[in-house]
Amino acid sequence: MADALAKPESPVGEAHAAPKALVLWRPEAKTGLISWLTTVDHKRIGFMYGVAALFFFLVGGVEALLIRLQLAVPNNNFLTAQQYNEMFTMHATTMIFLAVMPLSAAFFNFIMPLQIGARDVAFPRLNAFSFWVFLAGAVILNIGWFIHDGAPNGGWFGYTPLTTRGFSPSHSIDMWVMGLQLLGVASIAASLNFIVTILNMRAPGMTMMRLPVFTWMTLVTAFLVVLAFPAITIALIELMMDRLFGTNFFEVSNGGMPVLWTHLFWVFGHPEVYILILPAMGIISEILPTFARKPLFGYPIVVFSGACIGFLGFGVWSHHMFTTGMGTVATAAFSMTTMAIAVPTGVKIFNWIGTLWNGHLTMRTPMRFALGFIWLFMIGGFSGVMHAAAPADAQQHNSYFVVAHFHYVLIGGSLFALLAGIHYWFPLMFGRRVSEGWGKLSFWIIFVGFNVTFFPMHFLGLNGMPRRTFTYDPNMGWNTGNLIATVGAFILGVGVAVYFTVMIYTFFKGERTGSDPWDARTLEWSLPVPVPEYNYRVIPTVHARDAWWYEKRNKDEVARARAAHAPGEASHGIHMPFQSIYPLVSAVGILIGSIGVSVIDADPGPGLIGPKLAVTLAGLAVFLVGVYLWALEGNEGYHVHPEEDHP
């Protein structure tokens, strides 16, 4: 089904002896639309993930601004209750699944194979499939805006029985369910790929304890995705069965227990939090050493604490449920594990400060975002510890205090790191660099706007304002805080607008840089810019952690090692996988089938099968055709013989 890449030793003669694979079409375009639709290049797929994620980031941002407009003054009439509920549901769903996760995936795709000295991921076509299915999921989630049923409005957590057919009869919840289901498929497929890639495709000498921290965090995140997403997949299947076939999983009158949903959801939902933050921590652990010009302080402990967070992350889900009446023992246990997880998180912060200590801090824009990350993430972490104290959380839970907390962790944490990462790797991706002045300006506007928006929310929450409310009365003492937050949100919006404008400008007209403009430390910076399709002309041999830094200072040793195995590779060229349209075909089949399941009414049509079943089956057929042709075209490739002149 899937294809292994780059086995230079595969006997070419034998391949010709066997009957040719069933290949209907070998797309060979290197530019233009077809090249993008059929690409299996991890860098192009990463780029597409990035573009999609940034687009949905803007969509989610607009939703956030509309929310803040509605809450700017008490008893506002800007949005109706229903529109407001759609906004906060879609804001959360969009930001988590369509912005932060795919933006992380963009870096996983683009950077991780380069960091381990690989030529691509282990299964390039599966990688393309993951992206297209992600896009299909994003489409399904957002169809509701354009049709009568409306966008999903049951909250991103979709608590039953509110999301069962009895209380939410419209298709908007079906779209939410199917959308998340597809995003789950995409995430799991991508993560399986990353796991195999990181474990199997490392360059010679790249031992696990020499992996760059970002790659380590990619690995931990991938394991979290693979192990956590099945829980929500099952929860969604059960909900879907209830909605489509009238089963009783969450049917209260037949003994269904809504609290089962909350458990299944948060067994996924809490690891999801770490799925969002661990890649960010990895990015920060790359940027700080580069701009401090010294190695990461306590690399083994940073790696170990990352893994530890991932592991403990599966044992804290019920801290989202302290108010569900779990009883004293369960509450105490989850309270303690939640506090325990603060230790490895704190350790990371200590190590980052240790990295700065005695360094030469070059304060470029990525470094500013990285330092901003540490400050804001610290604040978010501390309010997290406050939640861990279960009795105190009984007041904070579902109040704006929680909203403040997780925005400090998700914007101040994840997003700041991702914005830092964009600045940091921009020269590698596009050979251009953002102007420092504009970069710093956008940083300061975002930093100020963020704090003005979310710091007052701590006070609002402690002052008793619950979340997910479309209105509030003027006599509750929440007017000032809300107004400040709305003003802050628009400052933040301006900051993001500046950031994006500068990025787009830089993409076309920015200052050109050569390779390795930051004097960085990890292997991806050894590549020429733009990175060739095959990445490494000669697979590097790794001699130390911070391989590129070592290479720059021990040129002779590295050159000798390279010379030793370069001729072998040069003799038969570099194996490249063929492009393929079938990942896209399969994903389109899934999209069609999902539309059938979630959007179309179940009214029996004139014929034997109604339109719902017909569309669903048509989607299944397209999917199967895609998968079979994918399998039958085989994992063959071609060889390129790059010029010898690259260093």
Among 332, 348, 340, which Cα is nearest to 311's? 340
CA distances, 500 to each of 90, 442, 456 (Å): 22, 9, 26
What single-letter amino acid sits at 159? Answer: Y
User: Does residue number 463 form part of the binding site for other proteins (CB under 8 A)?
Assistant: yes
Among 303, 210, 280, which Cα is nearest to 424's? 280
User: Does residue number 161 form part of the binding site for other proteins (CB under 8 A)?
Assistant: yes
Contact 575, 549 (CB under 8 A): no
User: Does residue number 315 form part of the binding site for other proteins (CB under 8 A)?
Assistant: no
Q: Least Å distance between CB 221 and other proteins?
A: 13
Identify the residue whose tokens are 């949005």. Answer: 79
Site string for other proteins, 554-573 (x = CB under 8 A): --------------------
With CB under 8 A as the rule, give the number of residues binding other proteins. Answer: 149
Contact with other proteins (CB under 8 A): which of 358, 606, 608, 645?
A: 358
Question: For other proteins, which stretch binds (CB under 8 A), given 24-32, 356-364, 528-536, 578-586?
Answer: 356-364
User: Does residue number 481 form part of the binding site for other proteins (CB under 8 A)?
Assistant: yes
Binding residues among 253-312 for other proteins as defined by CB under 8 A:
254-260, 264, 267, 292-301
User: Does residue number 639 form part of the binding site for other proteins (CB under 8 A)?
Assistant: no
Identify the residue whose tokens are 């101040």. Answer: 412
The two tokens of residue 93 are 């769903």
Residues 6+ apart with CB under 8 A from 37: 581, 584
**CB neighbour class for 159 (10 Å; exposed up to 12, middle 13-18, buried from 19):** middle
466: β partners: 399
H helix or E strand, kind and range, residue 549: helix 547-553
Residues 6+ apart with CB under 8 A from 271: 224, 227, 228, 310, 313, 314, 317
User: Does residue number 332 form part of the binding site for other proteins (CB under 8 A)?
Assistant: yes
Site string for other proteins, 6-25 (x = CB under 8 A): xxxxxx--x---xx-x----
Rg of the chain over Cα atoms, rounded to whole angstroms, equals 25
User: Does residue number 375 form part of the binding site for other proteins (CB under 8 A)?
Assistant: yes
Contact with other proteins (CB under 8 A): which of 23, 26, 82, 641?
A: 82
Contact with other proteins (CB under 8 A): which of 464, 530, 604, 605?
A: 464
Contact 252, 198 (CB under 8 A): no
Binding residues among 120-139 for other proteins as defined by CB under 8 A:
122-123
User: Does residue number 360 form part of the binding site for other proteins (CB under 8 A)?
Assistant: yes
Contact with other proteins (CB under 8 A): which of 34, 227, 614, 617?
A: 227
Q: Least Å distance between CB 195 and other proteins?
A: 5
Q: Least Å distance between CB 393 and other proteins?
A: 7
Identify the residue whose tokens are 């989850």. Answer: 334
Contact with other proteins (CB under 8 A): which of 169, 437, 474, 530?
A: 474
User: Does residue number 150 form part of the binding site for other proteins (CB under 8 A)?
Assistant: no
Q: Least Å distance between CB 575 and other proteins?
A: 10
Nearer to other proteins, 199 or 621 (CB): 199
Contact with other proteins (CB under 8 A): which of 38, 130, 215, 331?
A: 331
Identify the residue whose tokens are 């070059």. Answer: 362
The two tokens of residue 107 are 């870096």
Nearer to other proteins, 58 or 627 (CB): 627
- Dihedral sign (CA 461, 465, 466, 469): negative
Nearer to other proteins, 139 or 462 (CB): 462
Binding residues among 389-408 for other proteins as defined by CB under 8 A:
389-399
Q: Give the count of beta carbons closer than 10 Å to the beta carbon of residue 405.
A: 25
User: Does residue number 631 form part of the binding site for other proteins (CB under 8 A)?
Assistant: yes
